[in-house]
Amino acid sequence: MEEDELPINQIIHGDCLEGMDKLPKDIASLVITDPPFGISYESRFRERAKSFGKIEGDGKNDPVVSWAFARCYYLLKDNSHFYTFTRWDVLPRFIHLLEHWGFGVNSCIVGKRAGHSCGDLEHSFSPSYEMILFAQKGSRKFSETTIKRLGDGKGFVRRFDDMIDWLPVNEPSKNLMFHPTQKSLELIEFFMLVSSNEGDLVVDPFSGSGITAIAAWDLNRKFICYEKDEKHYNSSVKYLDEFKKGLHNDILDRVHKKLGYNVGKVKQVTFGDMISNVVE
């Protein structure tokens, strides 16, 4: 399959396994995804349950995640990064699957949620964080960007912590939240900036709200995303189209300000530049 035959820059309505089976080997430079955890998720908040409902393909012991990870490894070029959201009770399984299919699991990143997760209000603690597994096919250094860690505002980051408490994990713009596990644009763009370059192809087998596609479009990356649920597919396509039309420039301005860069003007610097600009 030639590049002009690939479904580049599309959110595809359909099964990711069927779609990815048609793609050639070694075409992607990055995967960022939020797969079903196999916990039969359903929103417990009544009003949200009406609009969100269950997540398709989230049944227990569903093999789709395993095969999706396998296909992602096949599609990724050597020396590429892979991010998947996970949870404490499925973390061991996800690590096992990734290692089984050939990935090297480097880190478990913890991200702070903008709000608490739902759950048993009387018999368990309320989760205020999410976990992201960071894995690699081969070995790739982080891209050198001018991203700054927020809080002290003292300069460029020398090394990224595995506790990301300076960016929200879930989308804070409630008026634009239409998916039960929607993630923040700033977090996805952060991963994309440090793990890919302009023009690279990013793949998301479980697109959900379409945030990966939006981040790729904003950062001049190519993308191929899949979403099986028709309602979420339609919403994500509409969401992406609204960004392209400039209807959410306020959100983009907020994201760029938080990460400390300008789209299209991301200065590529050396590590020497980064260190020399750090204010102790």
DSSP secondary structure letters along 184-231: PHHHHHHHHHHH--TT-EEEESS-TTTHHHHHHHHTT-EEEEEE--HH
Backbone angles phi, psi at 226, to 5 degrees: -125, 140
Contact 234, 55 (CB under 8 A): no
The residue with greater pLDDT, 255 or 174, is 255
Query: Which contiguous run of DSSP H or E holds residue 70?
Result: helix 64-75
Q: Which two tokens stand for residue 249?
A: 């420039």
Higher pLDDT, 209 or 238: 238
CB 79 within 8 A of CB 136: yes
Q: Distance (Å, rounded) from C-alpha 204 to C-alpha 219?
A: 16
Give, for 47, the enclosing helix (H) or strand (E). helix 46-51
Range 83-112 average pLDDT = 95
6-276 belongs to which CATH class? alpha beta
- CB hemisphere CA count around 70 (13 angstroms): 10
Nearest to 139 by CA among 224, 68, 82: 82
Q: Residue 100: in which H helix or E strand, if any?
A: helix 91-100
Residue whose tokens read 């200065």: 267
Alpha helices in 76-183 (DSSP H): 91-100
Distance between CA atoms of 146 and 257, rounded to whole angstroms? 12
Distance between CA atoms of residues 273 and 238, nearest Å = 41
User: What is the percentage of the chain residues whose pLDDT exceeds 70?
Assistant: 72
Domain boundaries, the chain: 6-276
Give the β-pairing of 222-227 and 129-137.
unpaired
Confidence check: pLDDT of 43 > 50: no
How far apart (Å, rounded) are the C-alpha atoms in residues 26 and 75? 5
For tokens 């009544």, the residue is 46
Among 235, 193, 189, CA closest to 11: 235
Give the model's pLDDT for residue 166.
Answer: 81
Whole-prediction pTM: 0.82
Query: Over 60: is that where the pLDDT of 280 sits?
Result: no
- Fill in the DSSP letter of residue 71: H
- CA nearest to 161, candidates 182, 147, 177: 147
Identify the weakest region by mean pLDDT among 8-22, 128-142, 164-178: 164-178
pLDDT digits over 174-212, tens only?
A: 556 565 567 889 999 999 999 999 999 999 999 988 999
